[in-house]
Each structure stands twice: as structure tokens, then as C-alpha cells.
Structure 1
Amino acid sequence: MIRVALALTCLLCSSVGLTGGAEPPQPRMTVSARPPTALAAQSPVKPGQTWILSGTRADGQKVSRAIVLTMQAPSWSDSEGWSFDSEMGFFDYHPQTGKVFVGEMLSAFLTGNDVLMCFGFRTPAGITGALMSGSLEELQAESDKVDPTAPDPTTTEEALRIMRAAGMKVGTCTLTLKK
């Protein structure tokens, strides 16, 4: 069920929204010479870790949630990178691009809290990104604002600029590994 909801909101992070009946853009194909078969030992993201998602929503409200990765081995896809399961959602990390996409969703279903999604990039200074929050319906409505021809962002600043230019209500987020 979480992955079904994720499919609705992944549109936010790929710069491809629903086109209101228009022909959707053709997907980009990434071809790897050899996809990884196992997570690298030096990977900054590993099963069993706890990450703290903190940030400021578009309305100025401060938020903080623990993202606890399960011990299950992650799965690989060329477009998303490593997909880790979390107790309350998901954590995707692409080592080649530095893209990070994290969702804390289950508490929204259990307690009525807003879904929190952080789309950002890992840099030497840490992981920062654009914070989206709200109900799944609100996030879907926000994704409808994204121009399907917008370029894929390569930095947090680009992601924020593209999302805000589309009229999306986004804040900022940081992911910190809990020691």
C-alpha cells in the first residue's frame, strides 16, 4: 500500500507531473554497463540506520521525524538507486547522482499526521533538500503543478527553484544520521 501511494507522489521528484490529458513525455532510459549487485561497504546509507528528517514546511512550521531503516537489504534500480525500506516509509539513495528521496508516510495513515517527503542531494556538507508535506491528496495536487518538460534537478537549489517556479508549496529539509 505504501508503494502505491509512493507511485502517486514520486512524480514530485522526477519533474514529471500529470499532464491533464496531454501526451506524457517519454521516459528517459539510463543504461548502466553493470548494475551493482550489492551495496558498497563505504555507502553512507545502510540497513538498520536511523536518520532524522528535520526541516521547515512551506508554512514555516518546524518538523522532525525519525526514519528508521529496516535490516532488509535494499533493492537497486538504475533510476532510483538503492531503495531501502523504512518502518514508516521509504529511503532511496542514488550513489552516482547523490539524489536522496525519503518519505515518512505510515504515521499519516495511523495518526492523521501529514506525509513528509524530502527530495534532495548528498553533498560533502550533508543531505539537504526540498520538503513536501500534506495529505496524499494535497501532494498529488502539488505534483500536478510540475512542468513535465522541466529539467531534472542536479542540486537541492535547482530542485527548490523548479518546484517553487511551478507554484509548489515546498519547504526545506535536512537528513542527519543518528549516531
Structure 2
Amino acid sequence: MRRPLTLLLPLLLGAALAAPAPTPVQPGQTWTLSATTFDGEVLSTALHLNAAPPTPAAPGTYRADRGSLLLDTQADTLIALDLKDAREGGLGLACALRLSTLGQSGATGVLASGPLTELPAALERALAVLAVTRTPQEQAEAARELRLGECTLTLTPAP
């Protein structure tokens, strides 16, 4: 006997909702942030993610030794924050990129950098660039106009 689709639909939807899509970010990983600021300064840092998974209160927040990775699959964004030096009066880094481009050759994000007091506003501009641009060329042009840099984020292979 065949069941009507209306009876199977809740079962299918429940199975789909019960198994979230895998993410490229996992606890314990190391990610390398390579960046060029608007002024042309070339920077590179490594973010070593804690072994603990994100908490239910902050499901997309992966804590790291120097900051955190913020994953938002619905918005298709990944933000790498390196705040260690900024907490000591130095430069903070926030690399925002489209999650769907992660791992692609030449995939770049938008870099917000500056002192801790200026970083939230700069990150807001970086996310706005991602929201309104469609091509890497548009993204680079918009980032330059807003005095933002470029960045890449790559997973460091496990030893």
C-alpha cells in the first residue's frame, strides 16, 4: 500500500531537519588568516580553535586562541576575528567572506582592521560589501572605496 505524500512529508522534513548540513568549521581546527590592509600592510595569523564545540547560546561561534570564527550558514558568511593584539592596544582583524566560496582558489573576503573601538563599524562595512556585491571584482572595488582590505581564510591541514 502506498502512503499519500501528505503523510510522508512530515517524516521527510523531520529527517532533513534532524540532520543539519555539515560545516567546514569543526572544533580543534587551525585556520590561517592572510590579509592585506587598505594601506598595503601584509599580515598573517593562525587561529587555533578550541576543542569544545559552540554552545547552544551561540551555535555558530567557535572560540579560538586569538579570537573566534563566527559561522552563519543562513547568511552564507564566515567571519574570522583576531582580537588578541587589539585587546593590548594593537590592531584587530576581522575577515568576512562568503561561506560558499571557502576553499575555492582565489576566494577572497573583505578585511576590516583597526583598534578595538573602530573594529565593529569597520566589520559592519565589510559585511555590507559582501551583501551588495556579486563578483570578486565588485567586492574588491567596494572594499577599496570603503578603505577596507582583502583577506583569505584557509584550513591548515592537521599534522
Q: TM-score, normalised by structure 2?
A: 0.67
1:52 aligns with 2:29: no
Equivalent position of 2:90 in the other structure: 113
Aligned residue pairs: how many?
Answer: 138
CA RMSD of superposed structures (Å) = 3.6
Offset of residue 116 of structure 1: 0.5
Task: List alignment gaps of at least 5 residues for structure 2.
Answer: 1-12
Give the structure 2 partner of residue 138 of structure 1: 118
Q: Is the 8 Å Cα contact of residues 94 and 123 (structure 2) preserved in structure 1?
A: no
Task: Tell me if the contact between 2:97 and 2:130 (Cα under 8 Å) persists in the aligned partners.
Answer: no
1:133-179 Cα distance to aligned partner (Å, 9 max, x none): 110233356468x5xx99934757465555545xx321100001111
- The within-5 A match list for 1:54-69 is 54-69=34-49
Higher RCO structure (Cα 8 Å, ≥6 apart): 1
Instruction: Please tell me the residue identity of whatever aligns with 1:120.
Output: L
Unaligned runs of 5+ in 1: 1-32
CA shift digits 1:60-80 (9 cap, x unpaired): 010001111111212468xx9
- Counterpart in the other structure of 1:83: 61
Mark the CA change 1:53 to 1:39 in structure 2 (over 3 Å): closer, same or farther. farther
Distance 1:51 1:128 in 2: 14
Tell me the equivalent position of 2:149.
171
Q: Given the alignment, which residue of 102, 122, 130 partners 2:80? A: 102
> Given the two structures, how large is their TM-score scaled by the length of structure 1?
0.60
User: C-alpha displacement at 1:82, in angstroms?
Assistant: 1.7
Cα distance in 2 for partners of 1:150, 1:56 equals 16
Decide whether aligned partners of structure 1 residues 114 and 64 sit closer, same or farther in structure 2, where only a CA change above 3 A counts: same
Structure richer in helix, relative to its length: 2
Taking only the aligned residue pairs, the percentage that are identical comes to: 32
CA distance in 2, matches of 1:61, 1:114: 12
